[in-house]
């Protein structure tokens, strides 16, 4: 596991060869690395990268969780979607809470952007890394998206 410092605290990045298999909040200080995922995360936090290209593999999870993670991966940079909208997209409009649980089990947060999933009406609810981290990630993306849109 490599550890990077970030504006949301240290992140542990687990890899298998060139493939990212985990991102972990609150990692203990450890080895810095030169893996492409480390460089991409650093560029993301610097506001330079809006689309990760590093290969990743979603390991584990139920069929439903994997479907949720697939929907999360489609959310564009700087945008948000509700838990209910994901549940509806998966064919079960009443499964918003189950979507929230699946988001909490996302093994590769930030790269697979579960922070972009919000409650009904845009309410800031739930995040495995804590609401403060979620808010910081959304604020970063909003600043970068506005700066790019307005030149």
Give me the torsion for CA of 120, 58, 142, 42, rounded to 10°: 150
pTM strictly above 0.85:
yes
Residue with token string 């610097």: 46
Burial 97-128 (b: 16+ CB within 10 A, else e): ebbbebbeebbbbbbbbbbbbbeeeeeeebbb
Reading the block at residue 49, the tokens are 């990268």
Q: pLDDT digits over 78-133, tens only?
A: 999 999 999 999 999 999 999 999 999 999 999 999 999 999 988 898 888 899 99
Active site residue 103: no
- Report which secondary-structure segment, H or E, holds 135: helix 131-150
Task: Indicate if the pLDDT at residue 31 is higher than 80.
Answer: no
Annotated catalytic residue, options 23, 58, 114, 117: 114
Amino acid 81: pLDDT = 96
């Amino acid at each position: 596991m490599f550890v990077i410092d970030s504006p949301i605290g240290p992140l542990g990045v687990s890899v298998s060869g060139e493939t990212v298999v985990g991102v972990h909040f609150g990692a203990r200080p450890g080895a810095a690395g030169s893996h492409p995922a480390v460089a991409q995360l650093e560029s993301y936090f610097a506001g330079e990268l809006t689309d990760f290209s590093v290969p990743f593999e979603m390991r584990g999870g139920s069929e439903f969780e994997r479907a949720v993670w697939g929907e999360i991966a489609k959310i564009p940079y700087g945008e948000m979607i509700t838990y209910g909208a994901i549940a509806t997209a998966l064919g079960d409009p009443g499964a918003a809470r189950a979507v929230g649980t699946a988001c909490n089990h996302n093994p590769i947060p930030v790269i697979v952007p579960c922070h972009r999933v919000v409650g009904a009406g845009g309410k800031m609810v739930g995040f495995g890394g804590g609401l403060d981290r979620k808010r910081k990630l959304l604020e970063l993306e909003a600043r970068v998206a506005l700066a790019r849109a307005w030149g």
